[in-house]
Structure 1
Amino acid sequence: MDIIRSKDFTADRAWGAKDIATMNGITTRLHWTDQPYRWHINDGEEVFAVLDGVVDMYYRLDGTEHVVRLNTGDIFYASVGTEHVAHPRGEARVLVVESEGSV
Structure 2
Amino acid sequence: MDIIRSKQFTADKAWGAKNIAQMNGITTRLHWTDQPYKWHINDGEEVFVVLDGKVDMFYRIDGEEFSTRLDVGDIFYASIGTEHVAHPIGEVRVLVVESAGSI
| Superposition TM-score tier, normalisation by shorter sequence | over 0.9
Question: Are 2:11 and 1:11 aligned?
Answer: yes
Aligned partners of 2:100, 2:44: CA distance in 1, in Å?
A: 9
User: Number of matched residues?
Assistant: 103
Identity of aligned residues (%): 81
Counterpart code for 2:52: D
Matches within 5 A, 1:18-57: 18-57=18-57
**Runs of 5+ in structure 2 lacking a partner?**
none
Which ranges of 4 or more aligned residues in structure 1 deviate by more than 3 Å?
Answer: none
Equivalent residue number for residue 96 of structure 1: 96
- How far is the alpha carbon of 1:15 from its aligned partner? 0.1
Q: Give the secondary structure class of the aligned counterpart of 2:90.
A: coil
**Runs of 5+ in structure 1 lacking a partner?**
none
Aligned partners of 2:94, 2:30: CA distance in 1, in Å?
A: 6
What is the CA RMSD across the aligned residues, in angstroms? 0.3
Aligned partners of 1:63, 1:41: CA distance in 2, in Å?
A: 13
Looking at secondary structure, tell me which structure has more strand per residue.
2
